[in-house]
Amino acid sequence: MTSSIIQNLDTLKKAQRLDSEIHQAQGLLEEIPAKRAKLKAEMEFEKGRLHELEKSLKDIQVKLKDRELELSQKENQIKKLDGQLSQVKTNKEYAALQQEVASLKADNSLLEEGIIHILDEVDAAKDETRKEKEKLALITKSFQEKDDALAGQEKTLQIRLAEMKKQRDEAVVQLPLELGELYQRIAFKKQGLALAAVNGENCAACQMNLRPQLLNEIRLGEQIIVCENCSRILYYEA
Ligand SMILES: [Zn+2]
């Protein structure tokens, strides 16, 4: 095996094409857990919101029960006092009882107003809870679909990645040992792009202007020349 760049160019390009795809696939693969976590967080947020709405509905319903109980207690008291009215002996007692009844009735009328208001609150809270439940059901369904799709994507990418790595390794072992090692070192640092074509008088990867002497050596293609700026292996497109 010779280390001349010209004789190994096809293999190097093949390895680079695979490395570039590997890099892309790895990037996509790395994004998947965050995407899944984001979906899950969205669903958890809506779940939390529904939980809060249900709790506040329950609180309002408890408040309603308390007021209704209070109202019925006061109504009973009024009935009792009404019964006592016919049995009192003095005008003074009678007036006092009547005053008490009037005050209870006034209380009850306020209580009834409050209850009507709370009933409206219950309706509104029920409505909001129902809407949130529907929203959560939709989100849960779409979460499941999206999450399944992401899990499928993950699996496909992993299989594809393993296949491409195998092909890349098969290409790299065809290179002379030193060149293969150099290629891998640069590819690792340069996100899978270890090669750079010469474009006019420049490195096509970093646009660095190349010295005439260097251009000559690259054109000869007998030894490995790396860009002095970006460290990539330089070659002339045949
Ligand atoms: Zn360069």
Q: Would you state the structure tokens that stand for residue 134, as one six-digit string?
A: 């529907």
Tell me the CA–centroid distance for residue 26 and ligand 1, in Å.
Answer: 24
Residue 227's identity, in one-letter code, is C
CATH class of the domain whose range is 20-176+185-191 = mainly alpha
Q: Would you state the structure tokens that stand for residue 28, as one six-digit string?
A: 């996509």
Separation of alpha carbons 221 and 216, rounded Å: 9
Sheet holding 202-203, edge to edge: 202-203, 195-199, 233-235
Q: What is the pLDDT of residues 132-186, one digit of tens each?
A: 999 999 999 999 999 999 999 999 999 999 999 999 999 999 999 999 999 999 9
Separation of alpha carbons 40 and 44, rounded Å: 6
- The reported pLDDT for the residue numbered 5 is 84
Q: What is the pLDDT of residues 172-225, one digit of tens each?
A: 999 999 999 999 999 999 999 999 999 999 999 999 999 999 999 999 988 899
Separation of alpha carbons 77 and 5, rounded Å: 106
Tell me the CA–centroid distance for residue 194 and ligand 1, in Å.
Answer: 10
Q: What is the pLDDT of residues 85-107, one digit of tens each?
A: 889 899 999 999 999 999 999 99
Residue 117's identity, in one-letter code, is H
- The reported pLDDT for the residue numbered 2 is 63
Tell me the CA–centroid distance for residue 164 and ligand 1, in Å.
Answer: 26
The domain limits of the chain are 20-176+185-191
The pTM of this model reads 0.72
- Quote the strand ranges of 87-209, DSSP E: 195-199, 202-203
Tell me the CA–centroid distance for residue 101 and ligand 1, in Å.
Answer: 98
**Residue at token pair 């030193």:** 178
Residue 146's identity, in one-letter code, is K
Neighbours of 171 (CB within 10 A): 21
Tell me the CA–centroid distance for residue 209 and ligand 1, in Å.
Answer: 9
- The reported pLDDT for the residue numbered 133 is 97
Separation of alpha carbons 99 and 16, rounded Å: 99
Tell me the CA–centroid distance for residue 106 and ligand 1, in Å.
Answer: 91
Neighbours of 80 (CB within 10 A): 10
Angle 17-18-22 (CA atoms, 0-180°, nearest 5)? 120
Tell me the CA–centroid distance for residue 167 and ligand 1, in Å.
Answer: 26
Tell me the CA–centroid distance for residue 211 and ligand 1, in Å.
Answer: 12
Yes or no: say if 94 and 85 are a contact pair by the CB < 8 Å rule: yes
Tell me the CA–centroid distance for residue 200 and ligand 1, in Å.
Answer: 13
Q: Which carries the bigger pLDDT value, residue 117 or residue 2?
A: 117
Q: Would you state the structure tokens that stand for residue 145, as one six-digit string?
A: 């679909």
List phi, psi (to 5°) of 176: -55, 145
1 pLDDT higher than 60: no
Neighbours of 210 (CB within 10 A): 21
Tell me the CA–centroid distance for residue 197 and ligand 1, in Å.
Answer: 9
Tell me the CA–centroid distance for residue 191 and ligand 1, in Å.
Answer: 14
Separation of alpha carbons 147 and 234, rounded Å: 44
Tell me the CA–centroid distance for residue 152 and ligand 1, in Å.
Answer: 38
Mean residue pLDDT across the chain? 95
Q: What is the DSSP string of 52-88?
A: HHHHHHHHHHHHHHHHHHHHHHHHHHHHHHHHHHTT-
